[in-house]
Structure 1
Amino acid sequence: MTTYSTAEPQYVEVNGTRFAYLRFGSTAKTDVPLVFLQHFRGTFDHWDPALIDPIAAVRPLILIDNSGVGKSSGTVPGTYAEWAWNVVAVVKALNIPLIDVLGFSMGGFVAQMTALNAPTVVRKLVLAGTGPSAGEGVEGGDPLATQRLATASNEQEARDAFLTAFYSLTAKKQALGDTWWKRMNAARSNRSDYVGSEGTNAQIGAVIRWGSRDFASEGSYDRLHELKIPVLVANGDNDVLIPTVNSWVIFKKLANADAHLHLFPDVGHGFLNEYADQFSKLINVFLDA
């Protein structure tokens, strides 16, 4: 079976933009694919194979580079609602009637808007290490950690920025982070670079709008009650980028959804890599239920 490492990029053109994606995994049990949406500056070449492959073993996956990201053409949209419409457009262009969606970090913002704006397309939702748009109880993350991620311009700077933002600073946790970094970087050939400075600035602009009540109508906070589907919210217990309390806020705002909350111990934003085995199993159980 094709794995994350061996999956070849495919392309579909929608409204003048050439979107790149990976499509692989087993269809023995279900035809509903799980769509993965990546973090700040990341591409579909920056997932952890230890998380991806156990999920692909039992269900089809689609990993998308949004416009202006990785191997896709175009520019980075200014709002997450626009990012979400890109996801829906790609899915429809591929003639897929129904999807599950997993969004990690910034990808979780996009996942929320995808489910809210295309409720007939999204069957189940997994929100990992993310938060709602601005509202009561929502907390901002460590600005220094975000700045280091935004300004990293070479391999060493990127490694240092991601390891200090995703993992606690103890020797043990940094060693686990180093193991993840090597595993991820060795997973695929012909990998895309992280999003460049122009796209990064556009992503930051979208974050600023997401975090401001002045643009509340573009966000998810006031609309999460609209979701009536199963939602799995997951995070580490000490996330410095998108504080863990924001996962609780999402969970409580999902008043009409079949919502589940799972926090992994002694870990932060990189929980899905550190606990890849457990989290992949949890995702499969949730989606199969």
Structure 2
Amino acid sequence: MTDTDGRDGFVRAGGGARIAYQVRGGGRALVLLAGQSNNHHWWDAVREDFHPAHRTVTLDPRGTGASDKPQHGYSISEFADDVIAVLDALGLDRVDLYGTSMGGRVAQWVAVRHPERVRRLVLGCTSPGGPHAAQPDASVRQLLAQPDPVAVREALADLMYTPDWRARNPGPYRTLGDPDMPRHARHGHLVASNRHDAWEQLPRVTAPTLVLHGDADRLTPPGNAHLLADRIPGAALHLVAGARHAYFEEAREEAGRVVREFLA
């Protein structure tokens, strides 16, 4: 697939939606899946860290970025089908898969439904979903339900990063949502994420799995990491001390090293 390195493209997926993808670097393919209501720029700060050994593949989930933004068709299983459509378009039979937040929910279903396509699986700051999941406390939900979008963005930034790190890194931050996302698509992502429940299926994951989580994550409590690691056969667990939801960016050196060693 050297002919696609460094290129952007589109693929037709379920319902005829065009899904945008981006390929960078060379080596074994590593698919990076972003969080809820975010496009591929979620990975901008750390993507190049994987390029010494991997070709990275990202996509704009339907409803974000350059992808189509249909009125309907938002579910975790639909997002997983979109990932497979991109892999098929690129001729990638088997890949390493790293999903964070909602992208981790999508990655769970890709690994469950298409085990032959996933060589190694990394699940970051994510949840098994459903009644077994550890839920954020009421104060977090209240912060994100404020009517003022500026206040919500500030609250989200605080959930993503520690104050000390933000003081040293004033942004702009690429993990706070796609600003051009239409309201119906944003709602679709929220509903899809809330309806995710892979609990009964997780023991079917056959790919070697690494679970990563910041131990100070209030958005997706770290108890979810323990649940995933216990539920997926043979899964390894790594908690990043003091990190919040965007552990992969704030603790870039530690988290990147752990993932690269696991994938190697």
Tell me the TM-score normalised to structure 1 length.
Answer: 0.80
Q: Which amino acid aligns with 2:214?
A: G
* Aligned mates of 2:125, 2:245 — CA distance in 1: 6
What secondary structure, in the 3-state scheme, does the structure 2 residue paired with 1:101 have? strand
Ranges in structure 2 where 5+ consecutive residues have no aligned partner: 1-5
Asked whether the equivalents of residues 180 and 274 of structure 1 are also in contact (C-alpha less than 8 Å), the reply is no
Cα distance in 1 for partners of 2:147, 2:31 equals 27
Q: 1:192 to 1:132 in 2, by over 3 A?
A: closer
Unaligned runs of 5+ in 1: 1-6, 168-172, 186-190, 211-218
| SS at 2:181 equivalent | coil
Q: Deviations over 1:12-62 (max 9, x none)?
A: 3335222112101132xxx3x11111112111123242x211112321000
Moved more, 139-148 or 118-127: 139-148
Residue in 2 that maps onto 1:21? 21
Q: Does residue 64 of the first structure (1) align with residue 59 of the second (2)? A: yes
* Structure 1 letter corresponding to 2:57: I
The residue number in structure 1 matching 2:10 is 11
1:109–1:132 Cα contact (<8 Å) kept: yes
Asked whether the 8 Å contact 1:163–1:174 carries over to 2, the reply is: no
Post-superposition CA distance 1:129-179 (Å, at most 9, x none):
00102143x21114553565577886x546513321113xxxxx3131354
Task: State the SS of the aligned residue for 2:200.
Answer: helix
Residue pairs, 1:14-163, within 5 angstroms: 14=13, 16-27=16-27, 31=28, 33-49=29-45, 51-75=46-70, 77-136=73-132, 138-146=133-141, 148-149=143-144, 156-157=150-151, 159-163=153-157
**In structure 2, which of residues 223, 238, 249 is the aligned counterpart of residue 262 of structure 1?**
238
Alignment match, 1:193: 179
Q: Secondary structure at the match of 1:145?
A: helix
For residue 103 of structure 1, give the secondary structure of its aligned residue in structure 2. Answer: strand
- Distance in 1 between residues matched to 2:167 and 2:188, nearest whole Å: 29
Q: Secondary structure at the match of 1:182?
A: coil
Partners of 1:165 and 1:42 in 2: CA distance = 15
2:194 match: 208
Q: Does structure 1 conserve the Cα–Cα contact (< 8 Å) formed by 2:98 and 2:124?
A: yes
Cα separation, 2, equivalents of 1:239 and 1:70: 26
Q: CA deviation at 1:220?
A: 1.2
Q: CA RMSD for the aligned pairs?
A: 2.4
- The CA deviation string for residues 73-120 of structure 1, in whole angstroms up to 9 with x for no partner, is 143633211110111111112211111111111111001011111111
SS at match of 1:123: strand
Identity of aligned residues (%): 26
Structure 1 residues 159 and 153, CA, compared in 2 at 3 Å: closer, same or farther?
A: same
What is the TM-score of this pair, normalised by structure 2? 0.87
Separation in structure 1 between the aligned mates of residue 60 and residue 125 of structure 2, nearest angstrom: 19
CA gap 1:126/1:160 in 2 versus in 1, 3 angstroms: same
Structure 1 pair 227–72 and aligned structure 2 pair: CA distance change class (3 A): same
Count of residues in Structure 1 that have an aligned counterpart in Structure 2:
255
Provide the secondary structure at the position in 2 that maps to 1:84.
helix
Tell me, in whole angstroms, the C-alpha distance in 1 between the residues paired with 2:223 and 2:62: 30
